[in-house]
């Protein structure tokens, strides 16, 4: 689990977004974290400590005068074991107090007495967010090393639309998990292809393959967590875009090829995960093909698609190229052959028809030193291992 062994203090301050914090506790505990909830007096107006206690499975603290802590030093004790303090929602007032080092209640005292990272998720009306004082406080907090999560943009409880909304619980979870990942690729720019391609036959039909895009999207997320700037060129898939990743949707292999070549100059690393169709119908009918008799069947002729990975690898000064090979047999032999044929330093092999659409995978890395197997694991976990392996192999000239 992504947060196994992590102890978090989750602070709630006054704001209607407190209702989202109930879901956040559930997600954090499901991801393996222990969560100690601390609420300001104002937060208890929006959601009860009973709810937060039931979801976190631990007593909730709201006052610095709480006698339940034997030495009466709740502000020290509660954060002593913490791997991070997360304030969600963080109100305008709480941010102002934090930025100025005020500590007149338990949560603000906990924050100033901490010895661990502090992450805050602002939640407020758009005008309060844009107010010069708030922006000044945010800049101060950033300067003090506080991580600001969001805020998001969209419909607000007050009926207005704009910046200032607290991130959704799933988004907060993704950012909190990312916070704990090693930043192997900080400052690197990665270009990644993912998913299948779709090659049209007529306006309503086409050929495609069973790639779900899950592995490529997991690699995009893992690379982003590791600090990279990520551009993800995705074939048709309904998967959500990982946070912080720039996604460009394409349909056909030729569109994917043109998009990649337009982006590649800015990339330090190119990871070709997409299951690109090797062929496309030679002609695309402008109108839907119709049956003309009982026994007629259309003849399809195919032409070859451009090989995107080979085209990138063959450029002068190419980015560090990572290929994928989905084989149905003899992975060891085909993997190394394909690595040489495509002219790439690193190739990731898997048994294709076993992995498509699944949430886990088993991969083998081929490079000039030989092959390394990464045992079966969740695709995100494997993606993180792959990102670490790529970072380790990047030529020194890229740093
Ligand atoms: N690839 C690509 N463009 C293509 C075909 C493949 O960029 N037109 C990339 C894939 O993203 C993958 C790698 O090349 O990283 C291997 O793809 P694969 O289709 O397995 O290789 P082929 O060269 O088609 O080999 P085979 O005919 O053995 O399947």
Same domain membership, residue 144 and residue 253:
no
Residue 75 and residue 154 in one domain: yes
| Structural domains counted in the chain | 2
Cα distance between residue 197 and residue 316, in whole Å: 27
* Residue 319 domain-assigned (yes or no): yes
pLDDT value at residue 397 = 57
Shared-domain flag, residues 102 and 221: no
| Domain co-membership, 168 together with 214 | no
Of 179, 209, 235, the one marking the end of a domain is 179
Report how far ligand 1's centroid is from the alpha carbon of 353 (Å). 15
Residues 213 and 118 in one domain: no
| CA angle, 98 then 100 then 103, to 5° | 60
Which residue's CA is the nearest one to ligand 1's atom 17?
325
321 classed as catalytic: no
Same domain (yes/no): 147, 255? no
Ligand 1, residue 273: give the atom nearest the CA.
11
pLDDT of 399 reads 47
Strands 152-155 and 118-122, by their bridges, are unpaired
CA dihedral over 88, 94, 100, 102, signed as positive or negative: negative
324 lines ligand 1 (CB under 6 A): yes
Which of 195, 261, 307 has most ligand 1 atoms within 8 Å of CB, for mutation? 307
In a domain? residue 2: no
What number does the ligand 1 atom closest to the CA of 322 have? 15
- Residue-level pLDDT, tens digit, the chain, 399 residues: 899 999 999 999 999 999 999 999 999 999 999 999 999 999 999 999 999 999 999 999 999 888 887 776 776 778 888 999 999 999 999 999 999 999 999 999 999 999 999 999 999 999 999 999 999 999 999 999 999 999 998 888 888 888 999 999 999 999 999 999 999 999 999 999 999 999 999 999 999 999 999 999 999 999 999 999 999 999 999 999 999 999 999 999 999 999 999 999 999 999 999 999 999 999 999 999 988 777 778 889 999 999 999 999 999 999 999 999 987 778 888 899 999 999 999 999 987 656 677 788 889 999 999 999 999 999 999 999 999 999 999 976 554
CATH number of the domain encompassing residue 88: 3.40.50.1950
Pocket flag, ligand 1, residue 278 (CB < 6 Å):
yes
CB 244 within 8 A of CB 221: no
**Are the beta carbons of 176 and 84 closer than 8 angstroms?**
yes
**CA gap 11, 287 in Å, rounded:** 60
Pocket mutation for ligand 1, best pick of 191, 220, 276, 315 (most atoms within 8 Å of C-beta): 276
Q: Is 256's C-beta closer than 6 angstroms to any atom of ligand 1?
A: no
User: Within a 13 Å sphere around the CA of 360, how many CA atoms are in the beta-carbon half?
Assistant: 6
**What is the reported pLDDT for 302?**
97
| In a shared domain, residues 128 and 210 | no
> Which of 158, 179, 200 represents a domain boundary (last residue)?
179
Q: What's residue 160's pLDDT?
A: 81
Instruction: Look up residue 63 and give its two tokens.
Output: 């006052």
In order, the DSSP letters of 77-102 are HHHHT-SEEEEEEE-HHHHHHHHTT-
CATH (domain of 337): 3.40.50.10300
How is residue 252 written in tokens?
């056909």
Strand partners, 105: none
In a domain, 255, yes or no: yes
Q: Which domain holds residue 163?
A: 7-179
Residues 143 and 248 both lie in one domain: no
| Same structural domain, 119 and 98 | yes
Give yes or no: residues 170 and 220 share one domain: no
Give a yes or no: residue 19 inside a domain: yes
Q: Would you tell me how many other CB atoms lie within 10 Å of the CB of residue 62?
A: 20
Q: Which of 103, 116, 158, 321 is catalytic?
A: 158
209 and 175 assigned to the same domain: no
What does the pLDDT read at residue 66?
83
Residues 259 and 365 in one domain: yes
Last residue of a domain, one of 179, 201, 226: 179
The answer, yes or no, to whether any atom of ligand 1 lies below 6 A from the CB of 85, is no
Query: Cα of 306 to ligand 1 centre, how many Å?
Result: 10
Report yes or no on 166 lying in a domain: yes
Predicted structure pTM score: 0.91
């Amino acid at each position: 689990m992504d947060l196994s062994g992590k102890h978090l203090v989750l602070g709630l301050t006054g704001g209607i977004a407190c209702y989202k914090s109930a879901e956040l506790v559930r997600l954090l505990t499901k991801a393996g974290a222990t969560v100690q909830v601390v609420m300001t007096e104002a937060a208890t107006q929006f959601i009860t400590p009973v709810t937060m206690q039931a979801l976190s499975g631990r007593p909730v603290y709201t006052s610095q005068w709480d006698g339940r802590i034997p030495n009466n030093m709740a502000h020290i004790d509660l954060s002593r074991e913490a791997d991070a303090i997360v304030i969600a929602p963080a109100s305008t007032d709480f941010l102002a107090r934090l930025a100025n080092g005020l500590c007149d209640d338990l949560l603000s005292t906990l924050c100033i007495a901490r010895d661990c990272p502090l992450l805050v998720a602002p939640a407020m009306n758009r005008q309060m967010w844009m107010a010069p004082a708030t922006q000044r406080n945010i800049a101060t907090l950033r300067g003090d090393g506080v991580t600001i999560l969001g805020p998001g943009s969209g419909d607000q409880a007050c009926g207005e639309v704009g910046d200032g909304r607290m991130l959704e619980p799933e988004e907060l979870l993704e950012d909190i998990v990312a916070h704990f990942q090693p930043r192997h690729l900080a400052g690197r720019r990665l270009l990644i292809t993912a998913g299948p391609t779709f090659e049209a036959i007529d306006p309503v039909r086409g050929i495609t393959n069973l790639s779900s895009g899950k592995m490529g999207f997991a690699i995009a997320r893992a690379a982003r967590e590791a600090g990279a700037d990520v551009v993800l060129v995705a074939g048709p898939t309904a998967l959500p875009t990982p946070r912080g990743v720039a996604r460009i949707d394409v349909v056909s292999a030729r569109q994917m090829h043109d998009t990649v070549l337009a982006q590649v100059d800015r990339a330090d690393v190119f990871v070709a995960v997409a299951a690109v169709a090797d062929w496309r119908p030679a002609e695309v009918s402008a109108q839907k093909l119709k049956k003309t008799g009982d026994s007629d069947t259309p003849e399809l002729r195919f032409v070859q698609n451009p090989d995107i990975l080979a085209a990138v690898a063959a450029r002068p000064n190419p980015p560090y190229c990572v290929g994928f090979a989905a084989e149905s047999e003899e992975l060891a032999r085909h993997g190394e052959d394909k690595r040489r044929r495509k002219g790439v330093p690193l190739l990731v092999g898997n048994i294709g028809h076993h992995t498509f659409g699944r949430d886990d995978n088993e991969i083998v890395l081929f490079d000039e030193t030989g092959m390394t197997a990464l045992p079966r694991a969740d695709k995100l976990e494997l993606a993180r291992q792959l990102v670490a392996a790529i970072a380790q192999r990047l030529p020194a000239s890229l740093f």
